[in-house]
Chain A
Amino acid sequence: MVKEMLTGNFAAAWGARLSGVDYVPAFPITPQTEIIEVISKWVNSGVMDTKFTNMDSEHSMITAAGTAAATGARVFSATSSQGLLYGCEMLYAVAGWRVPFVLINVSRGLSAPITLEPDHNDVLSARDTGLIQLHVETCQEILDTILMAFRIAEDERVFLPVLINMDGFYLSFTREPVEIPGLDEVREFLPEYRPGHAFFLASKPMAQGVAVLGGSVYSYFRYQMHLASSNALRVHNEVAAEFKSIFGRAYSAVEPFKTEDAEYIILMTNSFTVKGKDAVNRFREKGIKVGLVRLRLVRPFPFQELREYLRGKKALAVIDQNISPGSGGILYNEVTSALYHEPNRPGAVLSFIGGLGGKDISLAEFSFILDEMQKSVETGIVPETQLLYTEQDMKNMNNFLNIAGKG
């Protein structure tokens, strides 16, 4: 085991290398590029014994990943933003084939307008594809989650591809200390892949992802995918427990932070949760009982865990780093529906949109969120979805309007 300063991208490349992947089909896109560059260098210099193919597009890349996985190869790939959308058609296909592999999405806002910084509309567009989704907070968590993801994907109870989301720039090009576990420890946790169920064998002709007519066959397979995804929650928790016993680091489907005695909870995902935790610490210094919940597993959705952490709270604020135009925050809708049948649910559930396109979420914004929660508890009135946008933001915007000749 060594500890080094690594970017999130570098940590992802290490995750793939330690996992002993057989095949990496790749297509570069900012801010994912570094993952692919590092892996291709390693393959070229021989430290990584892996087949690497530069594809013509993400659509081909996902197809190649899925077909290779169907032969029993351990496959890794990475993309971002528009690239994920370009490959999206095939995401449904590979999940439908029920083939295990690991795909990283380095979150980046979607066009238009163009940005290179993160929000989560890209990854959430793949929400219903059937891929398992894990959203990570730190560079260490990326590496660790890749090792865990192969275990989940290759488990016979799941057998689905896993998508891991990490924020562009905030993780991809951010360096922080990362523990690189030794290969021996990793092999103990993640042995070489000996597929019990590989579909394609040269000796045995068969058809995969076949056409079915008549809805009952189709319904059966679609529902099997749902059950497989639901199983992944239990498998994740088992795998996380084993990971902790070997590496000492604990991960859960839903990560609570100072929630036990909290009256107010902020719910977030991904790397911006560190800012949320900082805000919680500061509120706590003033004696305000605030906690934070991070949703790490987005698919399958951890209904039960979430209900447990939110039960009996005065108010909950969901910060969505995404926007579903005409509706609001995607996770807000999921969280509120998860709470509907919980008799002891939070008195008010508020919806905020923040951090879009990498826009910072400041302490002032967290204070505003807390004020709004407290107001809602007092008045019983829950406001509509609110955008976290300050006067300073508006000033910046006006400045740009002037530059654009619209002032």
Chain B
Amino acid sequence: MKRIRFHGRGGQGMKTASRIVGTASFLEGYIAQDCPVYGAERRGAPIQAYTRVSKNPILERGVIVHPDITIIADETLLDDRTANVFQGVYGGTITMINTHYSSAHVRERFGISGKIVTLDMTDIVLTQIGKPVLSSVAAASASKLTGMVTRQSLKEAIVRELFSVDIPKEVVKKNVEAALICFDRTPDIHIDHSEPMKEDNTFVKLEYSGPYLGTPSTYARGNTVLKKTGNWRLFKPVIDHERCSRCRACFVHCPHSCISLDTAGYPRIDYENCKGCLICLEECPKKVILKKREVREW
């Protein structure tokens, strides 16, 4: 059995990716199982999805604790402790990260074991599809790494899955093209050993912890207004203040309240928290907000 775990942010298409791999494996004649796990239902929140592919009936369900393949579709998750992307990774795991950095850089920065593969999937989809949706390309990479899925089944699975969620034909076509590029660029390496899941058999007796520890409250950055969310951004909105009419449309429409007005009434963007949704750009009647692709160093 091959166990694949996808990590992404809400809206990037990881659920669909897990389904595409499920369908593709199914078309190859394997027994497959796929499922997502949601958090708070909003765009940008870390999510996981899972696909299991096997020759025999699958007697497992739910969370994949020890993945054979992990696909990390959003590099900013690497630094987010709540996303827990390296959880349960063992010596045999292949970790595929969507980044322009080399695998050596990732290994050095995060000190993880196992095989690391990197590929700038975002670049591929922006060129081929024009939008940062990663479902097909993430599925393509995962399919290649299983060594069990052919190009043909991958293609067929993308068509089936994207049609089922009403994606227009020409967009599906672009997705297939992007996916095949990704499939070809993903190295042909495979899992050489799959470790059996180690079950923890030491049980603890929970003692009463008192209200500070024993209540579901968070004082850390993790879940509060202190958490800076601007690092998720793919595109940075930049206002041309020379041509801005101070109509306030952007200020009113920013769903994250990231735009404030300065003393002269000009809109100012809080880049610490702007997630790059580009609604301000859509709403600006004078079209004086531009988008700029951002690639961060880490």
Interfacial residues, chain A to chain B (CB-CB below 8 A): 96-98, 156-157, 159, 197, 199, 204-214, 220-221, 223-224, 227-228, 231
**Chain B min CB distance to A213 (Å):** 5
Q: Which of B211, B214, B219 contacts A206 (CB 8 A)?
A: B219
Cβ–Cβ contact B223 & A210, under 8 A:
yes
Cβ–Cβ contact B208 & A159, under 8 A:
no
Cβ–Cβ contact A211 & B208, under 8 A:
no
Cβ–Cβ contact B207 & A210, under 8 A:
no
Instruction: Tell me if B56 counts as interface (CB < 8 A to partner A).
Output: no
Return chain B residues, CB-CB under 8 Å to A199.
215, 217
Instruction: Tell me if B209 counts as interface (CB < 8 A to partner A).
Output: yes
**Chain A min CB distance to B46 (Å):** 9
A224 to B225, CA, bound (A): 27
Cβ–Cβ contact B219 & A197, under 8 A:
no
Measured CB to CB, the nearest residue on chain A to B63 is: A214
**Chain A min CB distance to B242 (Å):** 37
Cβ–Cβ contact A221 & B216, under 8 A:
yes
**Chain A min CB distance to B101 (Å):** 28
Return chain B residues, CB-CB under 8 Å to A213.
37, 39
Cβ–Cβ contact A220 & B206, under 8 A:
yes
Instruction: Tell me if B59 counts as interface (CB < 8 A to partner A).
Output: no
Sample (24) of A-B pairs whose CB atoms are under 8 Å apart: A98-B215, A156-B210, A156-B211, A157-B210, A159-B211, A199-B215, A199-B217, A204-B219, A205-B224, A206-B218, A206-B219, A206-B224, A207-B223, A208-B215, A208-B217, A210-B223, A213-B37, A213-B39, A220-B206, A221-B215, A224-B209, A227-B206, A227-B207, A228-B214
Q: Which of B206, B209, B217 contacts A210 (CB 8 A)?
A: B217
Return chain B residues, CB-CB under 8 Å to A210.
216-218, 223
A209 to B207, CA, bound (A): 21
Interface residues of B in 208-247 (CB under 8 A from A): 208-212, 214-219, 223-226
Cβ–Cβ contact A208 & B216, under 8 A:
yes
Instruction: Tell me if B197 counts as interface (CB < 8 A to partner A).
Output: no
Interfacial residues, chain B to chain A (CB-CB below 8 A): 37, 39-40, 63, 206-212, 214-219, 223-226
A209 to B224, CA, bound (A): 12
Return chain B residues, CB-CB under 8 Å to A206.
217-219, 224
**Chain A min CB distance to B225 (Å):** 5
A157 to B209, CA, bound (A): 9
A199 to B216, CA, bound (A): 11
Cβ–Cβ contact A197 & B212, under 8 A:
yes
A96 to B214, CA, bound (A): 10
Measured CB to CB, the nearest residue on chain B to A221 is: B216
A96 to B63, CA, bound (A): 25
Known: A156-B211, A159-B211, A197-B211. Is A209-B206 also a contact (CB below 8 A)? no
Return chain A residues, CB-CB under 8 Å to B215.
97-98, 159, 199, 208, 221, 224
Cβ–Cβ contact B217 & A209, under 8 A:
yes
Cβ–Cβ contact A98 & B211, under 8 A:
yes
Cβ–Cβ contact B219 & A227, under 8 A:
no
Cβ–Cβ contact A223 & B216, under 8 A:
no
A204 to B207, CA, bound (A): 28
Known: A212-B216, A221-B216. Is A207-B210 also a contact (CB below 8 A)? no
**Chain B min CB distance to A237 (Å):** 17
Return chain A residues, CB-CB under 8 Å to B207.
227
Measured CB to CB, the nearest residue on chain A to B38 is: A213
**Chain B min CB distance to A238 (Å):** 16
Return chain A residues, CB-CB under 8 Å to B218.
206-207, 210
Contacts beyond the supplied A96-B216, A212-B216, A213-B37: 5 A-B pairs with Cβ under 8 Å: A197-B212, A199-B217, A205-B226, A208-B217, A228-B208
**Chain A min CB distance to B197 (Å):** 16
A199 to B40, CA, bound (A): 22
A209, A213, A228, A231 interface centre (most CB from chain B within 10 Å): A213
**Chain B min CB distance to A206 (Å):** 5
A209 to B215, CA, bound (A): 8
Measured CB to CB, the nearest residue on chain A to B224 is: A205
A84 to B215, CA, bound (A): 24
Return chain A residues, CB-CB under 8 Å to B206.
220, 223-224, 227
**Chain B min CB distance to A133 (Å):** 19
**Chain B min CB distance to A199 (Å):** 6
Cβ–Cβ contact A205 & B225, under 8 A:
yes
A156 to B209, CA, bound (A): 10
Cβ–Cβ contact A221 & B224, under 8 A:
no
Return chain A residues, CB-CB under 8 Å to B211.
98, 156, 159, 197
**Chain A min CB distance to B235 (Å):** 28
